[in-house]
Amino acid sequence: MTITINHFLILSFLLFAIGFFGVLVRRNFLTVLMSIELMLNAVNINFIAFSRRLSDLTGQVFSVFVITIAAGEAAIGLALTISLFRQRKTLNVEEANTMKG
């Protein structure tokens, strides 16, 4: 069996879906953060697969940008983790619901 671009796309879609549902269902903020990272990296697979297939470097460049931004996002996310934990002594995002309605 040869690996075609469709395999990459399916892989990336699955990873993206896992991350997507991870954001929706995991209660721990750190896990949510990791799920978001998973989504971003699924996108990277897409970009690189397309880049390879279309013989165009832009996609790979974009994935480098995405990695950089993911790092920035992680930094902010971790800072928020600390802030959240200091105030509530928990990382359960469900409990952050003082504002509603």
Residue 38 CB, shortest distance to another protein, in Å, is 9
Q: In a 10 Å sphere around its CB, with 0-12 CB exposed, 13-18 middle and 19+ buried, how is residue 9 labelled?
A: middle
Question: Which has the closest alpha carbon to 25: 98, 96, 92?
Answer: 92
Asked if 35 and 96 count as a contact pair (C-beta separation under 8 A), the reply is no
For residues 30-89, which are near another protein according to CB under 8 A? 32, 36, 39-40, 42-43, 46-47, 50-51, 53-56, 58-59, 61-62, 65-66, 69, 72-73, 76-77, 79-80, 83-84, 87-88
Question: Which has the closest alpha carbon to 5: 58, 53, 47?
Answer: 53
Residue 12 CB, shortest distance to another protein, in Å, is 8
Residue 20 sits in the site that holds another protein (CB under 8 A):
yes
Residues that bind another protein (CB under 8 A): 12, 16, 19-20, 23-25, 27, 29, 32, 36, 39-40, 42-43, 46-47, 50-51, 53-56, 58-59, 61-62, 65-66, 69, 72-73, 76-77, 79-80, 83-84, 87-88, 93-94, 96-101
